Amino acid sequence: MHPLTQRRRDSVAALGEQQLIRAIQTWLGPASPRSPFGIGDDCAVLPASRGRQLLTVDPVIFGRHFDATVPPRAVGAKLLKRNLSDLAAMGGRPTSAVLALTLDARVSRRWLEQFYRGLAACAMRYRVRIVGGDVAQADGMVAASLTLLGEAAGPRFVARHGARNGDWIYVTGVLGGSLRAGHHYRFLPRLAEGAWLARHRAVRAMMDVSDGLAKDLHALTPKQSTPALTPDAIPRRTGCDLRAALTDGEDYELVFALSSRADRAAFGRAWRRAFPRVRLSCIGRFVPVGKAPAEAIPLANYSGYEHLR
Amino acid sequence: MHPLTQRRRDSVAALGEQQLIRAIQTWLGPASPRSPFGIGDDCAVLPASRGRQLLTVDPVIFGRHFDATVPPRAVGAKLLKRNLSDLAAMGGRPTSAVLALTLDARVSRRWLEQFYRGLAACAMRYRVRIVGGDVAQADGMVAASLTLLGEAAGPRFVARHGARNGDWIYVTGVLGGSLRAGHHYRFLPRLAEGAWLARHRAVRAMMDVSDGLAKDLHALTPKQSTPALTPDAIPRRTGCDLRAALTDGEDYELVFALSSRADRAAFGRAWRRAFPRVRLSCIGRFVPVGKAPAEAIPLANYSGYEHLR
């Protein structure tokens, strides 16, 4: 469905601001608590946190993160899931979210209702409270930015930094071809997996793969090290070549470093017991710069998604 | 300064994403802690809250909240101050913020640097940590959305609901002509005033005036009541008529309801001791519907800023 309508009476502008806010409350339903704990006051009031908190923000923009072929319900869900994936990558679980919309006056009410209903269903599934937001107008824009607050799911969270030379590199699922396969909006954020991994001290560093493994892996690589990846070990989506798997982006899988001293066989068995249907691949390890074997992937020849170009 | 440049080498696109993120960290300086407590990981890690928290989100969009006549430093500061004003309206104080930017590839580096330096200076002044963000590209857009997290400054926060019939209505500062006077970006958020007011139990309900008093006051009005405002009591900016004061918007003043049982003279004296240079006006009171005196302002004849039309 295209987000814009040519008929003014079907547009959000025809609804007017006050009616739109009431409609949004209806569409969100139980995903949004009542004011002042939800929409309707200057700020939302949140309960005290149970410990350290996690905070992230990610948008969806028409023409960039979705187009008219993606169902609006899926767009709303994707917005939340992108942020959940960031939380998963640290071993977090979500608590609350706020939403900033930037809409052309011609956005159709039907499109927006489906967007919110998709967001609400996803919020209920992952127990996220949508506590507030803002709607602003800008010509030609259909964009939504969601800020997600969370906490560590267990006693520990995992950052991008912390990997050491010699650590093994693992990735969940398969990579590449996300746009073509519709994975970019159908994916399920790896929250349970991220929380499980964070409980294992041998998992020293973790992040999600959103811009392509070749690009994202830099952030996980310790100083004076380089990732030595085995070409055949990279898990590819059906029909994808190595380049697609390394650079396509929007995979929303987890990549992490496992301590070189860990018992990899026991770790693999524990994973298969916990997640029998989620593929886990050891794709290589961090080695000193200049010591990568000849058969390792020359990552410098691959680059992932650039946000500004 | 216009945010867009015609010379590609002066644009953010020429900088590339990785360099841009490093530049942003430099521009933010001490306003942004190091990763994982600031920019650079999947999520920012925040300390545990001291109690209930406040959360709000507001954008600035080129062509709507600022134009080329507003210095970019002031745009960055305005973005944060708009959100601080929402926090002030509940008696809150800020803790952390994240920022989502949507930029045309032609945005000039100089403009963006000044924007961030203005934001950072404002963040230092009000002790806000800028802990993370996101940069996305969209043609023709120069927009930033900031999500602000805070907490109650004292033992209590004040919501919009809570006023009762008979309560007095007060407003800080002067109203109207904000755009013409440059007040819309020069204003100082009423954080100290909001915190002071929240410590007074007689202040039953509060909000900030952002879309014009005539429109905003609805949210403060108790059921079966109507605001009876005295025309001469409305504090107007020099050169503004009553309509401008009631409908212009972007005042960023506080409007609140004081209990009808409060000692207004003592309250006024305490205010003047605390804020000798901030005007405080009692502009009327809430009366039963149909019981407003003939000389009260017919608010239905005035309407404030509509966000979608």
pLDDT tens digits along A136-180: 999 999 999 999 999 999 999 999 999 999 999 999 999 999 999
Mean residue pLDDT of chain A comes to 95
Mean residue pLDDT of chain B comes to 95
Of A11-15, A97-101, B224-228, the least confident: A11-15
pLDDT value for B1: 92
Q: DSSP letter for B275, please.
A: -
pLDDT value for B18: 84
Give the distance from residue A96's alpha carbon to the nearest chain B alpha carbon, in angstroms: 9
Q: Classify B236 as helix, strand or coil.
A: strand
Does any CB of chain B come closer than 8 Å to the CB of residue A217? Answer: no
Average pLDDT in the A41-51 region? 92
In whole angstroms, what is the distance from residue B21 CA to residue B10 CA?
16
pLDDT value for A305: 67
Contact B308, A11 (CB under 8 A): no
Does any CB of chain B come closer than 8 Å to the CB of residue A208? Answer: yes
Contact A304, A216 (CB under 8 A): yes
Chain A residues with CB under 8 Å of B100 CB are 57-59, 100, 145, 147
pLDDT value for B74: 98
Structure tokens at A299: 């990552």
Question: What's the CA dihedral at B207, B212, B215, B216 to 10 degrees?
Answer: 0
Locate CATH 3.90.650.10 in chain A: 168-301
pLDDT in tens, B244-269: 999 999 999 999 999 999 999 999 99
Type and span of the H or E element at B256: strand B253-258
A237 confidence band (pLDDT: 50, 70, 90): very high
In whole angstroms, what is the distance from residue B205 CA to residue B207 CA?
7
pTM value is 0.95
Locate CATH 3.30.1330.10 in chain B: 8-152
Residue A36: pLDDT above 80? no
Single out the residue of B95, B90, B102 nearest to residue B59, CA to CA.
Answer: B102
In whole angstroms, what is the distance from residue B175 CA to residue A227 CA?
61
A308 confidence band (pLDDT: 50, 70, 90): low
Contact B271, B194 (CB under 8 A): no
Residue in the structure block whose two tokens are 């590339």? B16
Residue in the structure block whose two tokens are 């009366």? B287
**Residue among B48, B57, B103 whose CB faces A49 most closely:** B48
Single out the residue of A255, A145, A238 nearest to residue B135, CA to CA.
Answer: A145
Of A268-277, B26-35, B221-230, the least confident: B26-35
pLDDT value for A35: 75
Half-sphere exposure of B73 (CA within 13 A, CB side): 8
- Which residues make Cβ contacts (< 8 Å) with residue A244, sequence separation at least 6? A175, A176, A177, A236, A237
Instruction: Identify the closest residue of chain A to B57 by CA–CA distance.
Output: A133
- Which residues make Cβ contacts (< 8 Å) with residue B21, sequence separation at least 6? B39, B40, B135
Does the beta-carbon distance from A59 to B100 stay under 8 Å?
yes
Average pLDDT in the A236-250 region? 97
Does any CB of chain B come closer than 8 Å to the CB of residue A42? Answer: yes
Higher pLDDT, B39 or B214: B214
- Which residues make Cβ contacts (< 8 Å) with residue B235, sequence separation at least 6? B171, B173, B174, B175, B245, B279, B281, B283
Alpha carbon separation from B51 to A45, A70, B89, B153 (Å, rounded): 10, 41, 18, 10
Does any CB of chain A come closer than 8 Å to the CB of residue B155? Answer: no
In whole angstroms, what is the distance from residue B146 CA to residue A136 CA?
13
Size of interface A-B (CB pairs under 8 A): 241
Percentage of chain B lying above the pLDDT 90 cut: 91
Chain B residues with CB under 8 Å of A157 CB are 36, 45
Return the axis-axis angle of helices A72-88 and A191-198, rounded to nearest 10°. 0
Give the distance from residue B266's alpha carbon to the nearest chain A alpha carbon, in angstroms: 28
- Which residues make Cβ contacts (< 8 Å) with residue B14, sequence separation at least 6? B8, B109
Residue A309: pLDDT above 60? no
pLDDT value for A243: 96
Percentage of chain A lying above the pLDDT 90 cut: 91
Does any CB of chain A come closer than 8 Å to the CB of residue B101? Answer: no
Task: Give the architecture-level CATH label for domain A8-152.
Answer: 2-Layer Sandwich (3.30)
A250: left (phi over 0), alpha (psi -120 to 50) or beta: left
pLDDT in tens, A181-209: 999 999 999 999 999 999 999 999 999 99
Give the distance from residue B217's alpha carbon to the nearest chain A alpha carbon, in angstroms: 13
pLDDT in tens, A66-122: 999 999 999 999 999 999 999 999 999 999 999 999 999 999 999 999 999 999 999
In whole angstroms, what is the distance from residue B136 CA to residue A60 CA?
9
pLDDT value for B306: 66
Superfamily name with CATH number, domain A168-301? PurM-like C-terminal domain (3.90.650.10)
Does any CB of chain B come closer than 8 Å to the CB of residue A19? Answer: no
Residue B9: pLDDT above 70? yes
Strand order in the sheet with B53-61: A44-46, B53-61, B142-152, B92-103, B129-137
pLDDT value for B16: 83
